[in-house]
Structure 1
Amino acid sequence: MNTTVLFIHGEWLSAAAWDNFSSRYRACGYTCIAPPWPLSEGPPERLRSAPHTDFPRLGIRQIIEHYAALIRRMPQPPLLIGHSLGGLLVQMLLDRGLGCAGIAIAAIPPRGVIPRLSVLSRAIPMRMAWGSWKRVMYFPLPEFTQQFTQAMAIQDIALLYANHIVPAPGRIFFEAAFGIGTYVDFANDRRAPLLLIAAENDHSVRPCVVTSNYRHYNRSAASTSLKCFAGYSHWLITEPGWEQVADYTIEWAQTQLGRF
């Protein structure tokens, strides 16, 4: 039986950031889709310059309902793979009984995981400033470059920024920080298998946060795995060496789905 992989992007990255992972999975016989968030259709260049009339009001509830509705229309439950906020959405969807397995990469944690506020430690005060929850937020190139100084050449960083970095609704940062609409039942024994992935040099979602997230699932008999990649940053799905991350997730998925 052919398995569909549903890739869910997080804040800042466009859905096209999954192109490399998708090609890897398709080579192994998977069908891959990477739909964008609501109100996020179009190339990054256009999204960075668009007026964004309704985008500031986009919250986590609307985003997860968008993906839940898509999954319910599928003939078979898909494998879910998400990055950052997308990784949080993967956990929430699995908790709802959607998806045959899930992989959460550098995931913002659900409500109840401590220290949750640390996921935004580098965003304060810019993205937690008063009133930013009702504005469109932008990721400045200098700040983005600073996070890649040890991993990529400057020209490669600029290309990555041009191809993939898009604005984000400020509302999601407040909702993620304060656990608004991000509840997960960590004791859910019926949840499908979940893999949590951390990156050693991640300054946005630190490895200790992912580990804390993982430990909360000790309350459940459902399968939960944890993997930390040494030397990688928060952008491990697009930075050099992404192949190692992708191949690890494929091996894990094939083990869970019995596709050897």
Structure 2
Amino acid sequence: MKETIVFVHGMCHGAWCWEEHFIPFFEKLGYTCVAFNLPGHEVQGSTRRISYSLGDYVEALHRVVANLEAPPIIIGHSMGGMILQKFLKTGSCRKAILLASVPPSGVLFASLRALFRYPGLIPYLLQFNLLGGFKKYPQLMFNDPDLCVRYAPLMCAESFLAYLGLMLPSHHRTTVPLLVVGGSADGLITVQEFADTAKHYKAQLEIIEGGSHDLMLDKDFEKTAEVIKRWILNSDH
């Protein structure tokens, strides 16, 4: 039976972020790929305010996994990585990949770094307008001006309530085989935080040289996809 990979997107994104590169890459390898929109993320570019908790997003992942015939491999990006970590408190999967993920310590330090580097984010934060901040400074997500222009318009409003949930640390452990992948040029999460995440979970760490926060949308996305492919295959042995 084909293995299934479930993709969990991050803040202000949607299932679309997996559809251009990662899903074709892994489908060619024979995997069944499932990408879904978290609640309120169904419409690309939507500015409609939403108010879901991080727990609502975790429940959405539980529902997707419950509908599958067998435990999947799950890849969680950014906020989706924290959703995956919280899912593993009570749920299970065959393998888990944290891609440019919020660390177990939460997103506070990443937020403070971003505000210090780009003080223009502060008015957006005071307005609870996360989308506005990311659209003004898309370089937080992408390391290429062309990609900023291309993908920023697809991003949608994010729940400030869910963002506040990301401030809280998640200190549990898991027995699920886990890989941590980060980019050396990530505009939000540091290489040290990726290393700390891997240490926390006793997981393998892979740093993609020059990789942005949105590793799955980088022009050289295949570097990241190949690292994940090799780990999935090798961790069976």
Q: TM-score, normalised by structure 1?
A: 0.80
- Tell whether 2:118 aligns with 1:117: no
Per the alignment, residue 40 of structure 2 pairs with 39
Amino acid at match of 1:176: L
Within a 5 Å distance, the mapping from 1:118-157 to structure 2 comes to 118-121=109-112, 122-123=114-115, 125-126=122-123, 128-129=125-126, 132=128, 137-145=131-139, 148=142, 151-152=143-144, 154-157=145-148
The percent identity for this pair of structures is: 20
**Structure 1 spans left out of the alignment, 5+ residues:** 219-223
Q: Residues 8, 230 of structure 1: CA spacing in aligned structure 2 closer, same or farther, 3 A cutoff? A: same
Q: Residue 37 of structure 1: SS of its match in structure 2? A: coil
Question: Among 161, 176, 185, which residue is 2:166 paired with?
Answer: 176
- Tell whether 2:68 aligns with 1:74: yes
- Superposed displacement of residue 200, structure 1: 0.8
CA separation in 2, counterparts of 1:139 and 1:37? Answer: 20
In 1, are the aligned partners of 2:75 and 2:99 still within 8 Å (CA)? yes
- Superposed displacement of residue 38, structure 1: 1.1
Per the alignment, residue 100 of structure 2 pairs with 106
Within a 5 Å distance, the mapping from 1:198-237 to structure 2 comes to 198-218=182-202, 224-237=203-216
List structure 1 runs of 4+ shifted beyond 6 angstroms.
none
CA separation in 1, counterparts of 2:62 and 2:193? Answer: 26
Q: Residues 176, 207 of structure 1: CA spacing in aligned structure 2 closer, same or farther, 3 A cutoff? A: same
RMSD: 2.2
CA separation in 2, counterparts of 1:39 and 1:143? Answer: 22
- Superposed displacement of residue 116, structure 1: 4.9
**Structure 2 spans left out of the alignment, 5+ residues:** 116-120
Within a 5 Å distance, the mapping from 1:8-23 to structure 2 comes to 8-19=8-19, 20-23=21-24
Per-residue deviation, residues 145-190 of structure 1 (Å, max 9, x unmatched): 5764xx42x444212223x3222111122211233xxx3422x4xx
Q: Residue 244 of structure 1: SS of its match in structure 2? A: helix
- Superposed displacement of residue 61, structure 1: 0.3
Q: Residues 96, 146 of structure 1: CA spacing in aligned structure 2 closer, same or farther, 3 A cutoff? A: closer
**Matched pairs, number:** 230
Per the alignment, residue 56 of structure 2 pairs with 62
Within a 5 Å distance, the mapping from 1:182-201 to structure 2 comes to 183-186=170-173, 188=174, 191-201=175-185
Work out which of the two has the higher radius of gyration on C-alpha atoms and give 1 or 2: 1
Q: Residues 89, 4 of structure 1: CA spacing in aligned structure 2 closer, same or farther, 3 A cutoff? A: same
- Superposed displacement of residue 239, structure 1: 1.5
CA separation in 1, counterparts of 2:95 and 2:7? Answer: 12
